[in-house]
Amino acid sequence: MGRGFSFRLLATDAASQARMGEITTPRGSIPTPVFMPVGTLATVKTMTSEELCDLGAQIILANTYHLFLRPGVEVIQSLGGLHRFMHWDRPILTDSGGFQIFSLAPLRQITEEGVTFRSHLNGTSHFLSPEKVVALQEALDSDIIICLDECPAFPATEEYVARSAALTLRWAQRSKIAHTRPEQALFAVTQGGMYPHLRQEHAQALVAQDFQGYAIGGLSVGEDKDTRLAMLEVSIPELPENKPRYLMGVGTPADLVDAVSRGVDMFDCVLPTRNARNGMALTRNGRLVIKNARYVQDSRPLDEACGCYTCQHYSRAYLRHLFVAREILAYRLLTVHNLYYYLELMAGMRQALTQGRFQEFRRNFYGQQQNGGDLGD
């Protein structure tokens, strides 16, 4: 492995907060802004590692909570760590499991010490503390690790969100003390619900602790888009320019462009892979629901301007046939296309920033995405 973790800023947009940079990790460099395909269980669903590399993925995400439950971190460690286990030699970011504390709320109990929860698989009881979550991620040997946090539900009272944010801050402080591997970057998670002053105060408190990067959590949990963007706009100015900013679990192509223009560097979301399995292709002209009858004899590719393997070789008619027949190949081919589109979108933004034409890129993007429903032509 090479050098340790660092981030450098390479270009900025004069008319917005958008920026282009480079993250360096021991397993390679990552140009930003970057989208991380989600490989929750050490696999990006339906894709091989070679295929992800061919698509241009520079970093992927895996989930500590799910890998802790199966196959078990000890199993992965005994087999040489997460990279060797899943045959992926580029960087990996592991999420702490904080979102599962939110999404599996009926199965868990939060205390000052950590979270006790019942497995959603078999009901067995487990306990995760900030220290244990760091130790698990160190054992997985991922390149970027995340502090345990609590993600408040939406809506939530200001009093509850303030207590939750304070707990997340204390957990972050404990996580930093527990962190023993300097070659792994430790990111803290900013919270604060939909309360601007809590967002600002929490970000300031975490920045004072000097982490190697900062994730923006607690968004895309049911709030409307304008609220989400408003929370970004109050959070990001509090984060240091020389550290990566990671918006967790967001979102649609428009969400990515909106957030990059506000200064976000890193993204993950299940949308491209989940939508593929549900028969939705994401294209530069909007979304396309492949099961619709209008595609029965449509000889065109999903997107005539797309260079992905699927669009180069297969028609909408064939993809519709596969999907309606529930053939596994449909899910694979649609996943290839959706991930290619997301990764190309990010590459386009990076190139536009380098060339000083990000605002032109934004205008063109929104102009093409004029049809938010199923494409008719």
Cis omega (within 30 of 0) for bond into 251: yes
Two structure tokens written together for 137: 């991620």
φ, ψ dihedrals at 225, nearest 5°: -60, -40
CA distance 283 to 305: 9
Asked if the model's pLDDT at residue 12 lies above 60, the reply is yes
Chain centroid to Cα 181, Å, comes to 23
pLDDT tens digits for 14-73?
999 999 999 999 999 999 999 999 999 999 999 999 999 999 999 999 999 999 999 999
pLDDT tens digits for 234-265?
999 999 999 999 999 999 999 999 999 999 99
The H or E element that residue 110 is part of is: strand 108-110
Residue 95 known to be catalytic = yes
pLDDT tens digits for 174-197?
999 999 999 999 999 999 999 999
How far lies 247's CA from each of 68, 305, 316, in Å? 24, 29, 33
Closest CA to 22 of 39, 40, 3: 3
pTM, two decimals, is: 0.96
Choose between 375 and 317: higher pLDDT. Answer: 317
pLDDT at residue 246, rounded to an integer? 98
Name the band, by pLDDT with cuts 50, 70 and 90, for residue 374.
low
Active-site choice (143, 268, 298, 303): 268
Report which residue type is found at 157: T
Average pLDDT, the chain: 95
pLDDT at residue 295, rounded to an integer? 98
pLDDT tens digits for 80-91?
999 999 999 999
Neighbouring-strand partners of residue 28: 25
Closest CA to 210 of 162, 163, 242: 242
Report which residue type is found at 219: L
Active-site choice (95, 141, 143, 265): 95
Asked if the model's pLDDT at residue 356 lies above 90, the reply is yes
The mean per-residue pLDDT over the stretch 203-216 comes to 98
Asked if the model's pLDDT at residue 377 lies above 50, the reply is no
User: Do 76 and 82 contact (CB within 8 A), yes or no?
Assistant: yes
Residue 374 known to be catalytic = no
In the chain the domains, ranked by start, together with CATH numbers, are 6-269 (3.20.20.105), 276-356 (no CATH)
The percentage of residues in the chain with a pLDDT greater than 70, rounded to a whole number, is 97
Q: State the DSSP string of 136-197.
A: HHHHHT-SEEE-------SS--HHHHHHHHHHHHHHHHHHHHH---TTSEEEEEE--TT-HH
pLDDT tens digits for 112-161?
999 998 998 999 999 999 999 999 999 999 999 999 999 999 999 999 99
pLDDT at residue 116, rounded to an integer? 93
Two structure tokens written together for 158: 């200001």
CA distance 331 to 291: 12
For helices 158-178 and 130-140, the axis angle rounded to 10 degrees is 50
Closest CA to 353 of 9, 5, 6: 9
The mean per-residue pLDDT over the stretch 297-302 comes to 98
Q: State the DSSP string of 268-319.
A: E-SHHHHHHHTTEEEETTEEEETTSGGGTT--S-S-TT--SHHHHH--HHHH
